[in-house]
Structure 1
Amino acid sequence: MRGSNDTVAVVLAGGIGSRAGLGHPKQFAVLAGRTLLERTVARFERSEAVDGILVLIAPDHIDRAERILKEAGFAKIAGVVPGGEQRSDSTRAALDRIAADGGAAKVLVHDAARPFVPDRVIREAVGALDDRDAVNVVDPVTDTLVTVRDDGEGGEAPAEVVDRSAVRRVQTPQGFRFPVLAEAYRLAAGDPDFRATDDCSVVMRYLPEARIAVIAGDPWNMKVTGPADVLVADLIAARLDETGTGALGGESE
């Protein structure tokens, strides 16, 4: 890292991506000639709001990831670090590495499986940390939502409709002042029941006094999970390359 005033983007690419049905980790899926990992990292490489990039990946795939990132010529890569078994283990590993490298003022944690995050989202997440401890990126829910109950016959039945006006889908990057996220994970380490699928929830649970901002995500900030997502992402990537701008929708980058 370059110094305590920097913003570091942590790209979590440690999963095996079995739901994508590719036979290999989805971060190596090829989208219009470039890997998903490369396209995701490129978003932070281009952003003036980010100073360094730390990539977390499964230990067995470090050499491959390093080769891809080196061939891409990224200048902001601060390291490729072994990820953990769970997502939260990878975040812990990233925090340890950042601390060992001298710390940072702000940290963004982003899923490698979101290769089209607009620069507007990155800039607003970093900017919100000027006067907040953390920032959550969310997108409105457009589908009708229901809770379900056991139907007594081995299946499920609808229980009640959820008021979607108060519900949001969480996207990444999530942003944090580095000491805040580090302290939340320090406290979580002492909890034998600790479970987390995202990092803002860790801060909310262990540092309830933290000031957390909410900013608007973007429909283009899709997460590549299943085979259909890979196909859609490939088409989007091809279109972006065709236009040569890297812009999504009405965004100007």
Structure 2
Amino acid sequence: MTLCIALIVAGGTGQRFGAERPKQYLDLAGKPILRRTVEAFLSHPRVSSVQVVIDPARRDLYDAAVAGLGLPEPVSGGATRQDSVRNGLEALAAAQGGCYAVLIHDAARPLVDADTIAAVIAALEHAPGAIAAVPLADTLKRGADGTVAGTVDRDGLWRAQTPQGFRFADILAAHRDAAGLSLTDDAAVAERAGLAVALVPAKEENFKVTTPDDLTRAARVLTASQGAPLGDVRTGTGFDVHRFTDGDFVTLCGLRVPHTQGLEGHSDADVGLHALTDAILGALAAGDIGSHFPPSDPQWRGADSAKFLRHAADLVAARGGVIAHTDITIICERPKVGPHRAAMAARVAEILGIAPDRVSVKATTTERLGFTGRGEGIAAQAAATIRLPG
């Protein structure tokens, strides 16, 4: 079989991620996600070239992300992913009359490995289409009105990934015929056209970066796979205070804790998460929470402080590092933290994407001395240890 072309779909806005720029242009261990994805195909011996489909409004981000890779002029995407893929296929047909096969891949799957790419290409020798996929392992439940309405038989069910490979003429015709429809992926387009699509077992690591937690996970996988030594050990500290105000709960370490008063603050006034965010930023020498989320900015009024902590964790991941340990001490007379300590630690671990045994939450009083002793507010101090490539 002759060589094929990889078509990378990078026109999405990444709204679910919630970043200022589309996720494919975010940094992953020192490189933009899109660049890592493109390089995975450029370096493969069975791939002759790579064509990227983008949102032309983000051309500046695209040029910076792929600088020096020698890619052809990008193709402008459409209103939907399906439109973008069809635009890319039409551009390939116009530029060089097409090719034998095309691999269609999501830009936000940067951890695709060479074996998966090769396996999808090889499957096209026996079928007009082939997709990377993972057998479903979790039990599926059908829900109705917030309760379980039944269990779905998972036998024969797979989670589709990309690349999805096809013989070029077949998938181009299928996409042309499906124009204006709303289909979930390119395999669905092929299925509608009556094309057989082979399943190629892939790896869990070939996941799509959709949320900040996914980006943190991708950095950990990438660091582990490269065997990068994380010898640059750093520690940062943080401290935060909020006064009591009217209310019937306080937010501490991501949990709503019932209390006779609330805490006053521009966001949700979570002293625990604020102190820990500052500790992580301090370990990175990346300023403080106020420089990243100014209290003068109305968009952070009432904000969930988990967003601040995730941002700090994402900065660690972007540097190719990991969060080794965190320690938070809540300082107050009331409410009592002890009954909530385990749940607080679990919540912090969930936000950071680390194991619960790497999170410590403690509480103490000041023996009724000072403003916390007088019951005027709550304070928190935190320490964070991170490891960066060094």
Asked if these proteins are the same fold (TM beyond 0.5), I'd say yes
Whether 1:17 and 2:14 are equivalent positions in the alignment is yes
3-state DSSP of counterpart to 1:181: helix
Q: Report the alpha carbon displacement of residue 242 of structure 1 after superposing the two structures with TM.
A: 4.3
Task: Specify the code of the residue in structure 2 equivalent to 1:226.
Answer: T
Q: 1:91 aligns with which of 85, 88, 91?
A: 85
Task: Specify the code of the residue in structure 1 equivalent to 2:88.
Answer: A
- Contact 1:32/1:235, CA 8 A, preserved across alignment: no
Whether 1:129 and 2:129 are equivalent positions in the alignment is no
Q: State the partner residue of 2:141.
A: 146
Q: State the partner residue of 2:172.
A: 182
Deviations along 1:137-190, one digit per CA (max 9) or x if unpaired, are: 2101121101122xxxxx33211111112211000000000001011012113x
CA distance change for structure 1 residues 168 and 105 in 2, over 3 Å: closer, same or farther?
same
- Contact 1:118/1:221, CA 8 A, preserved across alignment: yes
Q: 2:52 aligns with which of 48, 52, 55?
A: 55
Matches within 5 A, 1:31-110: 31-70=28-67, 73-75=68-70, 77-102=71-96, 103-110=98-105
Whether 1:164 and 2:154 are equivalent positions in the alignment is yes
CA distance in 2 between counterparts of 1:242 and 1:22 reads 29
Larger Rg, first or second structure (1 or 2) = 2
CA distance in 1 between counterparts of 2:123 and 2:2 reads 15
Q: State the partner residue of 1:199.
A: 186
CA distance in 1 between counterparts of 2:184 and 2:197 reads 17
CA distance in 2 between counterparts of 1:68 and 1:17 reads 16
- Contact 1:66/1:80, CA 8 A, preserved across alignment: no
Q: State the partner residue of 2:221.
A: 236
CA distance in 2 between counterparts of 1:27 and 1:49 reads 24
Asked which structure has the greater RCO (Cα within 8 Å, sep 6+), the reply is 1
Return structure 1 stretches of 4+ with deviation > 2 angstroms: 234-244
Of 136-145 and 103-112, the range deviating more from structure 2: 136-145
Task: Specify the code of the residue in structure 2 equivalent to 1:158.
Answer: V
- Sequence identity of aligned pairs in percent? 36
Task: Specify the code of the residue in structure 2 equivalent to 1:16.
Answer: T
Q: Report the alpha carbon displacement of residue 16 of structure 1 after superposing the two structures with TM.
A: 0.8
- Contact 1:31/1:238, CA 8 A, preserved across alignment: no
When the two chains are superposed, the root-mean-square deviation of aligned CA atoms in Å is 1.8
